Amino acid sequence: MISKNCFFIAMNNSLICWDFKNHKQYQLSRDHANRLIHLIYEKDHKELNDDLTADLKCCNVFMDDADDNSD
């Protein structure tokens, strides 16, 4: 799932992820943005174990449902 602490801004031909809780911004590459879109719509995302998904998890942009303790 997408972190509840993130929102996205499209600007200057890029997608920016803003983590407002941790005061961090990430400019997503096209590949990372495409992976994030895939993860949003894919039901069995836990089967994906690749570098793009790992990057998104490392930055806490995407997390497994059980990992979302962001309340």
**pLDDT tens across 48-71, in order?**
778 998 899 998 898 876 555 544
| CB distance 48 to 39 below 8 Å | yes
Q: Residue 18: its pLDDT value, please?
A: 95
**pLDDT tens across 26-51, in order?**
999 999 999 999 888 876 666 677 89
Partnered with residue 28 across adjacent β-strands are 15
Q: How far is CA 34 from the centre of its chain?
A: 10
